[in-house]
Chains A and B, each alone.
Chain A
């Protein structure tokens, strides 16, 4: 296991270089002129002269050949410098760090809500297959899968902020501001977890080892929660991992609708303004998040199922 982990850790930089190279190329081939956008912004919408655009390209270093620009960017990134935003001139690493707490808060609360509701409901639905609880949970899962998060967000706002007046529609800073965005963001994940947990639990409960456990006289609680659930969790953990990655990457739509000042909102402005350094910095950040999440998932798999062997030599 430790050898496997070491190998995975060693391949991380290579993967990061690959990802950053692809994103750098794609962004540079995207249509739109970052120099012109920057000047338009600075001049309050007044179009710049062609000479100004040329000098801004030089100022931003956009006149250098692509490989040179990439090498410069990687060298800076290794020192923790993701460059400066064309738009605001602020440090991108600083901006990501400044927005990270908001994104972390929203992601962690949303994930906790999704797990706290989705997992138990999935298990109970499997145990009470065909009951009203099963029907209700499947209906909820269907709604969660069918309703996009932005629709859910607007519906929640309409109901809890406009009609009932229980919660603020927008804002950041108090626990009350967190509830609606977290519910909107967690709803789809919760539905997915519930559906998946139900399916894997049903499969696990029909396995021979469960029958054996019951035959040994183990209590139903132990059989369900220690034996069946542990084995049913592997695919569920995978979904949890990828969902956590997406949430940490910034729930763009939910952040924009609720005016939540997280990374997603920062990036969407960067994308719309062709702020290449922001997008490149974000892609690198996202890559690190997903690689780390995947690594954590592998460790969790091994803990949940010791039969899994990551050592290729003895496989």
Chain B
């Protein structure tokens, strides 16, 4: 072959590569980490905190997208959960139950909306009415019949049924307070104009890209710690971690346990751990023939080595679940948490009539092997590996199973024996909320169709109990009844992990509930 590419051409190629390399290096000079930009406040310049969130896919509407408006520091609710997960006043200053159907709520004074208007009872009434009008779920949740203004700082709220936990219900993020005069007619535009009360106010929002907020200098809780917060959306967890490592952001939320180990080894970074509030658990399909027998359900829950899942799957960043509530939320001395004991699990199966007669490793009853369908969904990264681990643990006691990754709404549609799921049981700060949703016949979150007249009765008693001490006892009794029946199988409570740069000043520990992530105190050193 004739060589047409002599030295000159080779040189051209090499020059081309060199050019690309120089270009990359040149870009590097100014592209390097914004960490120094963020910390510029030390020299009196604007202080900007950069935060990587998972989603920014819809505008932070106070009623429609409180899940975004509240944790980013834009919006606040009348009540919030404290670090012990009990409701406490936030924009309210107090609440008093006048009679079973009537509450009087007093408002915090001196609160200003982002537009400078003063928050008063009239505006809060208007905001709550909009929240009820625009969010049907709020009507179901709160059961509010009417709201009246008693004076400029007091509201009278009448409910359609006794609501002893109304302050807890008003911690719901979709009841956040906005100046009703600024909320546009169309719900689709409501995020852009709504003046809320949080420490930061909206500058710009670009769906799936970024959201910029600036300090609300008249914030009732004191001037916010930074001038501006720039949120970026990174749905991929490894990318969020790399963006933190590269200095593109100062805080990355929701790190995976493996990422936390990497961040923990970087001297310029730190992991902040929020005590857990969400539960990874298994719905039991109570309509499946195999799951009808409580002994089988007890065998399954006894066969799960929760501590092993905490240690290996979550790399220590979780707590083993002994009931549906995280540690410290509801202390019930009468309840023994499910303990890992494969021998006891095999005995329970034997008691239920299951034995491995044909020696294939799977127990059977009346010639039918005990083969289960385990389903879960991929959006929660810990769930699929958790289910695979459970599959292996079940195999150890002679229970066969098939793991399927499906859509999460299939949890309501049967077709499985156990369904791996994650949700929060502490919302509203009162155990009745989760018990009525998870254990009550036809409860909203009773996706496995558990039904027990005894449990229903005990939850009914809890609903009617107003006295705090008696409520605790009634809640424990209802919880124990569902627990003994293995209405569902709690597995672990994963920690919420934040990766932060050492430039971030985060006083105290993260709140257990992600909803209260950004406040006026988180800033830069």
Contact = CB atoms under 8 A, between A and B. Distances in A.
Interface of A: 30-33, 36-37, 39-40, 42-49, 52, 87-90, 99, 120, 124, 127-129, 133, 154, 157-158, 160-162, 164-172, 175-176, 179, 205, 220-221, 224, 256-259, 261, 265-266, 269, 272, 274
B27 A166 contact: yes
Interface of B: 1-5, 9-10, 13, 24-25, 27-28, 30-34, 52, 57-58, 64, 66-67, 135-137, 140-141, 172-174, 187-188, 206-210, 232-236, 238-239, 242-243, 245-249, 379, 406-407, 409-410, 412-413, 423-424, 427, 437, 444-445, 447
Nearest to A158: B242
B1 A37 contact: no
15 contacts: A32-B410, A43-B137, A45-B67, A88-B57, A88-B207, A124-B5, A127-B1, A157-B239, A165-B33, A166-B31, A170-B232, A170-B243, A257-B239, A259-B209, A261-B209
A258 B172 contact: no
Nearest to B10: A133
Contacts of B30: 176
Contacts of B188: 89-90
A171 B232 contact: yes
A128 to B, nearest CB: 6
B232 A259 contact: yes
B58 A169 contact: no
Contacts of B208: 99, 261, 265-266, 269
B232 A168 contact: no
B174 A43 contact: yes
B58 A272 contact: no
Contacts of A87: 57-58
Given A42-B137, A44-B173, A161 B246 contact: yes
Contacts of A179: 24, 27
A167 B209 contact: no
A259 B238 CA distance: 11
Closest 3 pairs (CB-CB, A-B) = A166-B28, A43-B137, A32-B407
Given A128-B3, A167-B28, 16 more contacts: A32-B407, A42-B136, A45-B424, A48-B137, A89-B188, A120-B13, A165-B247, A166-B25, A166-B28, A168-B248, A172-B209, A172-B210, A176-B30, A259-B232, A261-B206, A269-B208
Contacts of B423: 45
A31 B135 contact: no
A52 B25 contact: no
A170 B52 contact: yes
A170 to B, nearest CB: 5
Which of the listed residues A154, A259, A261 has the most CB atoms from chain B within 10 Å of its own CB? Answer: A259
Nearest to A123: B5
Contacts of A167: 24, 27-28, 31
A218 B424 CA distance: 77
Contacts of B246: 157, 161-162, 165, 168-169
Contact of B28 (A120, A165, A169): A165
B410 A259 contact: no
B258 to A, nearest CB: 13
B242 A154 contact: yes
Contacts of B427: 46
A220 B239 CA distance: 49
B424 A168 contact: no
Contacts of B206: 261
Nearest to A34: B409
Contacts of A48: 137, 140, 444
A300 B2 CA distance: 30
Nearest to A165: B32
Given A42-B135, A168-B248, A124 B409 contact: no
A87 B65 CA distance: 11
Given A32-B410, A259-B209, A265-B208, A220 B4 contact: yes
A170 B4 CA distance: 43
Given A32-B410, A87-B58, A124-B13, A176 B31 contact: yes
Contacts of B136: 42, 52
Nearest to B412: A36
A7 B3 CA distance: 46
B247 to A, nearest CB: 7
A17 B58 CA distance: 31
Contacts of B445: 47
Nearest to A55: B136
Nearest to A206: B1
B32 A88 contact: no
Contacts of A168: 31, 34, 246, 248
Contacts of B66: 44
B515 to A, nearest CB: 9
B140 A52 contact: yes
Given A170-B234, A171-B248, A31 B173 contact: no
Contact of B67 (A32, A44, A89, A157): A44
A170 B239 contact: yes
A42 B64 CA distance: 6
Contacts of B3: 127-128
A88 to B, nearest CB: 5
Contacts of B24: 160, 166-167, 179
Given A221-B4, A261-B209, A88 B137 contact: no
A181 to B, nearest CB: 11
A167 B208 CA distance: 21
